[in-house]
């Protein structure tokens, strides 16, 4: 097809005298003028940066608003509810969906297996089988053609990386093409309990949304308590965990240290370690995907690994693939 702008401008010039085409001319002018105001058919690098800032700054502002909100719609009760829900859903993703279901870095007794699928579902990042299929495909093609969410898919210039980061962060979620689950997660589809948890995802989503206001309301015995718990314990908690998880796909494949050998651009990003519960030691993870601990170097916080060690002590998790010093040394990039 002919680019619309060029056609409209030509029409504008050619038929300016014709009364019959009058209405067309008026419309054409409007469209042309609007396009000029918005800077043409292609977004420039500066516009992309502005777009990013408009998306990022309100989010940062929300976090910065916390000290101001204290005592007016935010108190310890909301913090406790939000933190507990964040920890349950976040470890459900890190320990459950990711390290256990995707990579099999340990084995679990059946009640724990089901509990991990349920806990991960509370993060509202999709049903367990779909999440696992996408993530296995990500490892198979990491940062190459076929990776569902590589920030490098448009190239490695600054504008291409900006576009790619956006795609890796959230854009890929809107892709209508889905990872074939039968091909990437046949083990989970065969498991009737897990397939059922996956099917119940809409109900678990409702539970995740409603649990904070119910607890907040009963705890305070007030509607106000239910409302503030819904704001912080549901909306802010879900939003924050989403962005942290997505940052592993975007930020941790674009920056960070690479002390280990991996065939992609995965990096260790220290400032996401606490919020991501150890998932941001992503370079080690791609170097040794089945390892139960991602933060293998001294001082690397990894609360998912801590949780797995507790579950192992309880006897609920077993055959855990803990890293050995020899294995870590062999994976070093040097
Ligand atoms: Zn990755
Ligand atoms: Zn992984």
Note the ligand closest to the C-alpha atom of 264.
1
Note the ligand closest to the C-alpha atom of 246.
1
> C-alpha angle with apex 95: 272 to 194, nearest 5 degrees?
135
Q: What is the mean pLDDT of residues 34-48?
A: 56
**Structural element, H or E, at residue 108:** strand 107-108
Answer yes or no: is pLDDT of 15 > 60.
Answer: no
> C-alpha angle with apex 80: 78 to 83, nearest 5 degrees?
105
Lowest mean pLDDT among 58-62, 162-166, 208-212: 58-62
Note the ligand closest to the C-alpha atom of 283.
1
Q: How far is CA 279 from CA 185, 267, 291, in A?
A: 21, 11, 12
Ligand 1 centroid to residue 102 C-alpha, Å? 12
Answer yes or no: is pLDDT of 157 > 80.
Answer: yes
Query: Is 178 part of a structural domain of the chain?
Result: yes
Ligand 2 centroid to residue 158 C-alpha, Å? 26
Note the ligand closest to the C-alpha atom of 144.
1
Which residues fall within 8 angstroms of residue 294, CB to CB, at 6 or more apart? 278, 279, 281, 282, 284, 285, 300, 302, 304, 305
Query: Is 136 part of a structural domain of the chain?
Result: yes
Query: % helix / strand / coil in the chain, to the nearest 5?
Result: 65, 5, 35
pLDDT digits (tens, 9 = 90+) for 270-318: 999 999 999 999 999 999 999 999 999 999 999 999 999 999 999 999 9
Answer yes or no: is pLDDT of 245 > 90.
Answer: yes
Q: What is the mean pLDDT of residues 28-42?
A: 47
Q: Across the chain, how many H-helices and E-strands are there?
A: 17, 2
Q: Considering its fold, how many domains does the chain have in total?
A: 1
Which of 95, 81, 89 minimizes the C-alpha distance to 278? 95
pLDDT digits (tens, 9 = 90+) for 246-259: 999 999 999 899 99
Answer yes or no: is pLDDT of 184 > 90.
Answer: yes
Q: What is the mean pLDDT of residues 150-169?
A: 87
Query: Is 79 part of a structural domain of the chain?
Result: yes
Of the pLDDT bands very low, low, confident and very high (cuts 50, 70, 90), residue 51 is low
pLDDT for position 47: 66
Which residues fall within 8 angstroms of residue 219, CB to CB, at 6 or more apart? 77, 81, 225, 229
Ligand 1 centroid to residue 286 C-alpha, Å? 6
Q: What span, in angstroms and rounded, lies between the C-alpha atoms of 117 and 132?
A: 11
Query: Is 307 part of a structural domain of the chain?
Result: yes
Note the ligand closest to the C-alpha atom of 147.
1
Query: Is 1 part of a structural domain of the chain?
Result: no
108 within 8 A of 100, measured Cβ to Cβ: yes
Note the ligand closest to the C-alpha atom of 97.
2
- Structural domain that includes position 205: 6-331
Of the pLDDT bands very low, low, confident and very high (cuts 50, 70, 90), residue 42 is low
pLDDT for position 60: 79
Note the ligand closest to the C-alpha atom of 294.
2
Ligand 2 centroid to residue 139 C-alpha, Å? 6
pLDDT digits (tens, 9 = 90+) for 20-31: 333 333 344 444
Q: What is the mean pLDDT of residues 58-83?
A: 85
* Rg (the chain; Cα; Å): 24
Ligand 2 centroid to residue 80 C-alpha, Å? 29
Ligand 2 centroid to residue 96 C-alpha, Å? 11
pTM (global) more than 0.85: no
Query: Is 109 part of a structural domain of the chain?
Result: yes
């Amino acid at each position: 097809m002919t680019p619309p702008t060029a056609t409209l401008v030509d029409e504008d010039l050619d038929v300016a005298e014709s009364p019959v085409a009058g209405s067309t001319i008026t419309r054409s002018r409007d469209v042309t003028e609007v396009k000029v105001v918005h800077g043409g058919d292609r977004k420039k690098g500066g516009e992309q940066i502005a777009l990013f800032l408009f998306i990022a700054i309100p989010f940062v502002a929300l976090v910065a608003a916390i000290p101001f909100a204290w005592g007016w719609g935010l108190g310890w009760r909301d913090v406790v509810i939000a933190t507990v829900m964040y920890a349950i859903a976040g470890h459900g993703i890190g320990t459950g969906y990711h390290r256990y279901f995707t990579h099999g870095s340990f084995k679990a007794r059946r009640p724990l297996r089901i509990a991990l699928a349920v806990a991960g579902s509370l993060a509202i990042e999709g049903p367990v089988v779909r999440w696992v299929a996408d993530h296995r495909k990500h490892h198979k093609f990491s940062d190459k053609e076929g990776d569902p969410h590589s920030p490098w898919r448009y190239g490695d210039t600054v504008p291409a990386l900006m576009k790619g980061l956006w795609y890796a962060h959230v854009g890929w979620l809107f892709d209508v093409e889905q990872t074939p689950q039968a091909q990437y997660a046949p083990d989970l589809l065969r498991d009737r309990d897990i397939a059922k948890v996956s099917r119940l995802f809409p109900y678990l989503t409702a539970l995740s949304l409603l649990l904070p206001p119910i607890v907040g309301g009963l705890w305070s015995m007030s509607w106000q308590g239910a409302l503030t718990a819904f704001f912080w314990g549901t909306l802010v908690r879900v939003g924050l965990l989403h962005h942290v998880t997505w940052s592993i796909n975007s930020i941790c494949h674009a920056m960070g240290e690479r002390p280990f050998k991996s065939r992609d651009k995965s990096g260790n990003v220290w400032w996401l370690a606490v919020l991501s519960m150890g998932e941001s030691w992503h370079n080690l993870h791609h170097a040794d995907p089945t390892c139960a601990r991602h933060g293998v170097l001294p001082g690397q916080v990894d609360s998912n690994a801590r949780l797995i060690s507790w579950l192992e002590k309880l006897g609920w998790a077993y055959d855990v693939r803990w890293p050995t010093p020899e294995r870590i040394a062999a994976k070093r990039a040097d």
